[in-house]
Chain A
Amino acid sequence: MRTDVRTAPQLRRDLERRGLDVSALGPVGVRPSLPKYISDLWERRHFIWMDSRHRITLQNSRNRLGNLWLILRPLFDAAMYFVIFGMILKADRGIDNFTAYIIIGVLMFRSTMQSLSQSPGTLRVGKPMIRAFSFPRAALPISAQLRESMQMVLTVVVMLAMIVVLPNHEIPRLSWLLVIPIFLMQCMLNLGVSLLMSRVGFILPDVSQVITVLSRVLMYGSGVIFPIDNYLTHPVAGAIIQANPIYQLLHMYRRVLMDGTAPTVASWVILAVWCVGILIIGFVFFWRGEATYGDEQR
């Protein structure tokens, strides 16, 4: 019988020995090199763009008000927090404009949480596409994130409008322009998180159960609805909070929007390290699993 064949080069040699032309043959279902993968992704940019645009329209297509909900939802959220904290509880926790504080916190925190909680299911939801067409699978989390970011632009606009309209009114300042780079960094952070969590969720679907707990922890550890700056004096807790990218993110938004001053260099650096780091780790981690995403989940 035939010689023992274990790898592609061996099979190639075996076929050649039998006088067959193997020049055109290459292995199938293997992951391409990282540069090739990135260029493949770039070739699919139209697909990513079209997919995310369609999904935005689709998710609201069964509602009567359709895409109006993209604006209405953050609007209602912000209004609700204003009514509860600003009018009923009249809480200020030592902050001049607690309404603005909490609106910025909740709306911006939620977008990163969306990436964290939705990304474990991305590959499961995209299964029909994975089964039907061959494309770099990273296109799916990237398209999901692109959609998320497009929605977030609307959320940011609503947020800015609300903190101007609601008392105590914030006045638009030049420093508000810094929202743009902070927003872009948040998008990068979200993309890194969703690439990472897509594969984690594919390997271990159970993580989506743990994420609700994790988001609760992050919510209290990032100063979303009440200030945690008092804890910064504690050496360990302070260091952890300082290193938390979401805390830094919200802190920077609030400084820019409420205090009218630029964030500190330390804030920029910590956030930038997180964004770039998570994005690279997430992308490489996702790429390494490329050949497995078509497998039957058992």
Chain B
Amino acid sequence: MATSSVEPRDGADAEAENAQASRWTAPESSPLTVAAHDLRVRYNVNRTDHSRKRGLIGLTPRTQRVSVGAVRGVSFEARSGEFIGIIGRNGSGKSTLLRVLAGLEAPNSGTVLTSAKPVLLGVSAALLPDLTGAQNVRLGALAMGLSPQQADDIFEDVVELSALGDAIDLPMRTYSSGMGARLKFAISLAADPEILMIDEALSTGDASFMERSRRAMDDLLERAGTVFLVNHAAQTIENMCSRAIWMERGHVVLDGDAVEVARKYRWFAHNLAQGNTSVANGLLMDARREGRDAQERDAQEDLTGFHRGQRTTTHPRRAPRHIRRGKDPGSNRADSAEAKTSNNLHDPSGP
């Protein structure tokens, strides 16, 4: 292994314990809510060479139509009660994947099945900027199919969760990006979605809002919802999610326990940032191999009919976490100790 020479640090251990205390733990078995098979998305875009070629060739058009693969064959299943983080570098296809899962964009090939219409919360959607926050709350509630009566009923909850106070009566164009994100998050949660997808939207919120939004999402998960969270800060995923999917150039590199995957990703990103490209590539290859092996193991079990009929979880290879957040740290410790013995598990941001 490329990184076996680096010793794990003790500090990482203590930090992991802290993080574990507030991390969401998925129930052992629950019904499927999202199933995606071999999703592929390509964009046809204009590409223009930024440099002019010399000689006669320089006179030929520099712009051509090229096909760019954003998502290249992603398959996975998600269950209710799972809090799934999607990590990866910029441009790895995370946001595109969410848009396809939410049904906002049609994939070029592949199939998505969901148990309910997912609600996607993105950073860009500004709603109607000239309307006040309060008007946007009502309009959004009606757009989601609530009756005017229901829209009135949820109004107070939304305002409270967004914590906008008097600003709720100001036009939304006067809001900061964090305030806008808070309001949108509150509106999205108001309809009590079964599947919630959050695309970086929470990263603009401040610390107190992070805590409130985390509680709101826990409630949603308690009610057997499924939450997807896209964030390029692996720390957030590690602290909050029960499962993580690492994406790189449109492929799934690794899909599994949030702490394991997020740490591998962070170690990879850390090496990349330090300029250790070859180490990073080695890590990526290792992770990819591991991901593939796990998938094949799954397929094997499927073929042999392992636990057929009673299994509802898609990840039998992973030790189930029976405990809810912070109730049984002992068992969590055992888990993370076990994780540490597996290769290249280091915390680049440790003390």
* Residues of A near any B CB (own CB < 8 A): 1-2, 5-8, 10-12, 14-15, 17-22, 24-30, 40, 43-44, 46-47, 50-51, 54, 58, 61, 128-135, 139, 291-292, 294-296, 298
Which residues between 102 and 136 of chain B lie within 8 Å of chain A, taking CB atoms? 102-106, 109, 111-115, 117-122, 124-128, 130-131, 135
Complex CA distance for A27 and B37, rounded to whole angstroms: 12
Known pairs A24-B33, A295-B106; A2 contacts B302 (CB<8 A): yes
Query: Can you name the residue of chain B whose Cβ is closest to the Cβ of A134?
Result: B117
* Residues of B near any A CB (own CB < 8 A): 31-33, 35, 37-38, 43-45, 77, 99-106, 109, 111-115, 117-122, 124-128, 130-131, 135, 138-140, 142-145, 147-148, 184, 188, 296, 299, 302, 305, 307-312, 314
Given contacts A20-B314, A21-B31, A54-B131, 9 further A-B contacts (CB under 8 A): A11-B37, A15-B77, A22-B32, A27-B112, A46-B147, A50-B139, A135-B145, A296-B105, A298-B44
Contacts of A20 in B (CB 8 A): 32, 35, 77, 311-312, 314
Contacts of A132 in B (CB 8 A): 120-122, 125, 127, 140, 143, 184, 188
Known pairs A54-B139, A298-B43; A131 contacts B299 (CB<8 A): no
B74 to chain A, nearest CB (A): 13
Q: List 6 A-B contacts (CB under 8 A).
A: A1-B296, A24-B33, A58-B130, A129-B125, A135-B145, A294-B99
Contact, CB under 8 Å: A15 / B32:
yes
Q: Which 5 A-B pairs have the closest CB atoms?
A: A29-B103, A294-B104, A28-B103, A47-B142, A25-B113
Contact, CB under 8 Å: B119 / A25:
no
- State which of B142, B305, B307, B309 has its C-beta within 8 Å of the C-beta of A46: B142
Contact, CB under 8 Å: A54 / B101:
no
Contact, CB under 8 Å: A22 / B104:
no
Contact, CB under 8 Å: B144 / A135:
yes
Complex CA distance for A263 and B307, rounded to whole angstroms: 77
- State which of B106, B119, B121, B139 has its C-beta within 8 Å of the C-beta of A47: B139
Complex CA distance for A17 and B112, rounded to whole angstroms: 17
Query: Can you name the residue of chain B whose Cβ is closest to the Cβ of A4?
Result: B38
Contact, CB under 8 Å: B142 / A22:
no
Contact, CB under 8 Å: A28 / B43:
no
Known pairs A11-B111, A20-B312, A295-B106; A128 contacts B118 (CB<8 A): no
Query: Can you name the residue of chain B whose Cβ is closest to the Cβ of A127?
Result: B125
Contacts of A61 in B (CB 8 A): 130
- State which of B119, B121, B143 has its C-beta within 8 Å of the C-beta of A129: B143
A180 to chain B, nearest CB (A): 29
Contacts of B101 in A (CB 8 A): 28
Contact, CB under 8 Å: B312 / A21:
yes
A291 to chain B, nearest CB (A): 6
Contact, CB under 8 Å: B125 / A131:
yes
Complex CA distance for A12 and B114, rounded to whole angstroms: 11
Complex CA distance for A44 and B145, rounded to whole angstroms: 6
Complex CA distance for A51 and B139, rounded to whole angstroms: 7
Contact, CB under 8 Å: A15 / B35:
yes
Contact, CB under 8 Å: B143 / A21:
no
- State which of A7, A11, A28, A43 has its C-beta within 8 Å of the C-beta of B145: A43
Complex CA distance for A100 and B111, rounded to whole angstroms: 60
- State which of B102, B124, B126, B135 has its C-beta within 8 Å of the C-beta of A54: B135
Contacts of B147 in A (CB 8 A): 46
Contacts of B130 in A (CB 8 A): 58, 61
Contact, CB under 8 Å: A26 / B115:
yes
B49 to chain A, nearest CB (A): 19
Contacts of A25 in B (CB 8 A): 32-33, 35, 113-115
Contacts of B131 in A (CB 8 A): 54, 58
Contacts of B312 in A (CB 8 A): 19-21
Complex CA distance for A131 and B115, rounded to whole angstroms: 20
B108 to chain A, nearest CB (A): 11
A246 to chain B, nearest CB (A): 32
Complex CA distance for A46 and B143, rounded to whole angstroms: 9
Query: Can you name the residue of chain B whose Cβ is closest to the Cβ of A5?
Result: B37
Contacts of A28 in B (CB 8 A): 101-103, 112-114, 117-118
Contact, CB under 8 Å: B128 / A54:
yes
Contacts of B77 in A (CB 8 A): 15, 20
